[in-house]
Every structure is written in C-alpha cells, then in structure tokens.
Amino acid sequence: MIYEIHLYVPKTGQMTPTMLNWLFEYGQSSDQPEAYWPVRRLRPKALARLMLQLDPALVPIQGPGQDVELHYPNSELGIVLYLHDRGVIIFFPFMAYSIYSRIVLGICYTYIRYLYDAVGFWSYDPQLDVLSYADDFQSMEDTARLMDAIMPRALPE
C-alpha cells in the first residue's frame, strides 16, 4: 500500500478545499485556461535541482514528458518525489512498525517543510483529508497513527 501527499503552490498564497476540488476534477486536462488554475505552473527540472541542493543523494529519473522523479537512495524506504508541472507528489509505503514509519515520515516532512519555506508549497494529505501550509509534528503523528492502525489489518496473518 502506498501513501501519498500532494504539494501545490497556490497562486493566491493560500490553498482552500475548493481549489483542491477543482484540481482533482480538472487537473488532468490540458484544455483549461491558465487563468482558471488555482496553482502556479512549475518547471520540474528546476525544482529537481532545488531539491538536489537540499539532498544531493536523491536519484533523479526522467518521468513522462517533462516530469521528474527523485528517488530516495535507500530503496528499502521506498520514498519517491514525483515532480510535475503543477506540483509534487510524495509517495512512500505504509510501514508496519511505528519506528520505521516515523523515520520515513521524518524524511518526507523534511522535504515538505523545505518546499514550503523555499517555494511556498502547501500540502494535502488525501488519506487524512488534511490541508496545510506547512506540516508540523501533529500532522506527522496523525499520519503515523493512521499507518499503525491500518497496517496490522492489511498484513496477512
């Protein structure tokens, strides 16, 4: 099972649930006028260079089109940052044991905080339905508790 957190830079400096609804309804279409988009257009390769300044160990991989994937060097942790022209999606696996989940979450939330401070990204956690301008310890704890609650039921006995 994969956990994901979506990151966007709102044009207004603030993200709202209405903006997220628009993104999930129209975000995959290419025929929407720029004026309708609630989030800024990004340059994935420039954003990848910025992330590599923070963590030079990330492994860049060309994605479809102009998209870029940044893989955490320890493949056992399964952390991937997917950079596209409107935002970033951070993927990581649900972890079965809380110590591992907190390590993975600590790494991911370091990236999230950096992107907020450097560029103004807001984050949306669809699993918790939480929208935040800069995720903090409470968000990390909520995510860890969710993973701890779900994983034992998802693992075969």
Cβ partners under 8 Å of residue 14, min gap 6: 122, 133
CA distance readout (Å), 121 to 15, 47, 97, 98, 149: 9, 12, 29, 27, 28
Calpha distance 127→144 (Å, rounded): 12
* Pairing label, strands 87-93, 59-62: unpaired
Amino acid in the structure at residue 37: W
Domain 2-154 classification at class level: alpha beta
Distance, CA of 11 to CA of 13 (rounded, Å):
6
Q: Is 139 a residue whose pLDDT tops 80?
A: no
Looking at per-residue pLDDT, the higher value among 85 and 143 belongs to: 85
The pTM for the full model equals 0.84
- What pLDDT does 10 receive? 95
Pick the more confident residue, 36 or 97.
36
Reading the block at residue 67, the tokens are 């998209």
Q: Compute how many other C-beta atoms are within 10 angstroms of the C-beta atom of residue 74.
A: 12
pLDDT in tens, 64-119: 999 999 999 999 889 999 999 999 999 998 765 667 777 888 898 889 989 999 99
DSSP strand pairing (80-84 vs 2-8): unpaired
Tokens coding 66: 């102009």
Q: Indicate if the pLDDT at residue 143 is higher than 70.
A: no
Residue 2: burial class (beta carbons within 10 Å; 0-12, 13-18, 19+): exposed
More confident residue, 101 or 50: 50
